[in-house]
Amino acid sequence: MDHVLQLVYLLAAVSFMVGLKMLSRPDSARRGNAIAAIGMTLAIFATIFLFRGQDGSHLGNLPYIFIALVVGSAIGYLMAKRVQMTAMPQMVSFFNGMGGACAAMISLIEYGHLSHAAESGDAALFQTKIPIILAGLVIGAVSFSGSMVAYGKLEGKLKDLSVRGQQFVNMSFLLGILLLSVLFALGSLDGVWFYLILGLSLVYGLLFVFPIGGADMPVVISLLNSFTGVAAACGGFLYDNYVMLIGGILVGSAGTILTVAMCKAMNRSLTNVLVGNFGGGGASGVGSAGVEGTTKEISLSDAAVLMKYAKKVVIVPGYGLAVAQAQHVCHEIETLLEDEGVEVKYAIHPVAGRMPGHMNVLLAESNVSYDKLVEMEDINPEFKSTDVVLVVGANDVVNPAAKTDPSSPIFGMPILDVEDSRNIIVLKRSMKAGYAGIENALFYEPQTFMLFGDAKDSLTRLVSEIKSN
């Protein structure tokens, strides 16, 4: 029976890899997600029905296991069905935090088991597994508390919070946790210190995420996701469970690769992420030179004429489009313009929205063709030949200060080169600063025109104007 279980684990692990590979393409992502989910379901039920302990016994407490599965599945299903696309980052952070909490609980439970084993004379097993237990405890606890803060900040319930010497405080906590963990693993500390390490890890998770500005949240979500994967892999080591180990490694490595990509896209170093040295999300624009000039508004009629008689239009979606739920109207404009012979594409910045891939999923939801979603590196050379750029709810990812203002907190961040186009129409509710809290020099460029109002309402009226002109 053990051979059958290992075969199921192998199939499940392969399904994870295939699913992860398919997630790299928008047109296959849904199938990949389903394949990986089927593999995980097989692994769970195979463990329940086929696993045997060293004494040949089955798993116990099956009623509790099935109650937990039913309740957890129902809660997850309802949350997933009801969540708005704008709240998807919050849900990802929440679920990620639950994964970290589970990993930390595994370490707590196994520490109790191994402590009893050590008291019974099996000290060698305790010394062998205690480093893995400590790793799962620390990483899982940091992921849990950090993810909960990220959830609260994305939900608007928590504000950025930092103290003087934040780097020093964070590094002191981190070094203290590592030192205590090493001493505990060497046997120099007793059991009380194990719970102190847990407490310090939870506090470090809070200190790690609290000072981070909202504009940097995509990186934080990716990093915490990789933490949870590593913590899950530690559980796989503890139980000699290969499918759990492989799943954790895949999540951890994929999250780490994505974190590095996000850091590059936002001009952040991974070292700064680890010590919590991110920019705040205040609206004061401190550190950024003042922007001088005047803005020009454009009427709906003029905007419609400008777009209808263009040869090429590029739409730049941002979080404002998600908030207004304007993706379907945006797709309608795309269809109308293409009927008039206009070439239409979407420019996707790696960190547009509140999490990686946010805009891709949002636009795919409104049936925008995948081949029209063009990444930043590919679309930037095309702006010089673009007649009209329609910026819908984006701000920091099109701010030229990233290239021209060394005092700006976003200086060095790769952006969409929309200022190279012939005409720019920006849809915004007001002149309020973006999520990074700084003014946007693009709004004062001579070829930029502002169209104020709710994005969905403005686009809906723009549809009517395009049809009537």
Q: pLDDT for 287-300, tens place per residue?
A: 444 566 788 999 99
The pLDDT of residue 401: 85
Are 374 and 272 part of one and the same domain? no
Question: Are the beta carbons of 387 and 422 closer than 8 angstroms?
Answer: yes
Residue 288 in any domain: the answer is no
Contacts of 118 (CB under 8 A, 6+ apart): 125, 126
Q: Which residues pair with 374 in a beta bridge?
A: 347
Measured CA to CA, the distance from residue 330 to residue 455 in angstroms comes to 9
Are 249 and 276 part of one and the same domain? yes
| pTM as predicted | 0.80
- Catalytic residue of the set 371, 378, 396, 405: 396
Question: Are the beta carbons of 225 and 101 closer than 8 angstroms?
Answer: no
The pLDDT of residue 311: 95
Are 243 and 356 part of one and the same domain? no
Residue 294 in any domain: the answer is no
Residue 194 in any domain: the answer is yes
Instruction: Supply the range of the domain harboring residue 308.
Output: 300-468
Number of domains in the chain: 3
The pLDDT of residue 1: 65
Residue 304 in any domain: the answer is yes
Are 50 and 131 part of one and the same domain? no
The pLDDT of residue 433: 64
The pLDDT of residue 436: 55
Residue ending a domain, among 82, 103, 134, is 82
Question: Are the beta carbons of 90 and 154 closer than 8 angstroms?
Answer: yes
Task: Read off the pLDDT of residues 172-230 as tens digits, 9 standing for 90 and up.
Answer: 999 999 999 999 988 888 889 999 999 999 999 998 888 876 666 777 888 899 999 99
Are 142 and 174 part of one and the same domain? yes
Measured CA to CA, the distance from residue 332 to residue 409 in angstroms comes to 36
The pLDDT of residue 104: 95
396 a catalytic residue: yes
Question: Are the beta carbons of 107 and 136 closer than 8 angstroms?
Answer: yes
- Alpha carbon of 184 to those of 178, 234, 292, 384: distances in Å? 10, 17, 59, 61
Residue 286 in any domain: the answer is no
Residue 410 backbone dihedrals phi, psi, to 5 degrees: -105, 10
The pLDDT of residue 381: 95
Check which CATH number belongs to the domain holding 413 and give it: 3.40.50.1220
DSSP 218-235: HHHHHHHHHHHHHHHHHH
The pLDDT of residue 38: 96
Question: Are the beta carbons of 261 and 350 closer than 8 angstroms?
Answer: yes
Are 250 and 159 part of one and the same domain? yes
Residue 311 in any domain: the answer is yes
Are 438 and 463 part of one and the same domain? yes
Residue 90 in any domain: the answer is yes
Are 90 and 105 part of one and the same domain? yes
- Alpha carbon of 206 to those of 106, 135, 146, 269, 436: distances in Å? 21, 18, 5, 20, 21
Are 32 and 16 part of one and the same domain? yes
Residue 452 backbone dihedrals phi, psi, to 5 degrees: -85, 150
Identify the three-state secondary structure at position 393. Answer: coil
Are 316 and 385 part of one and the same domain? yes
Contacts of 186 (CB under 8 A, 6+ apart): none
The pLDDT of residue 274: 58
Identify the three-state secondary structure at position 243. Answer: helix
Residue ending a domain, among 54, 82, 110, is 82
Are 3 and 41 part of one and the same domain? yes
Residue ending a domain, among 49, 82, 115, is 82
Are 245 and 309 part of one and the same domain? no
Residue 293 in any domain: the answer is no
Q: Which stretches of the chain drop beneath a pLDDT of 50?
A: 276-289
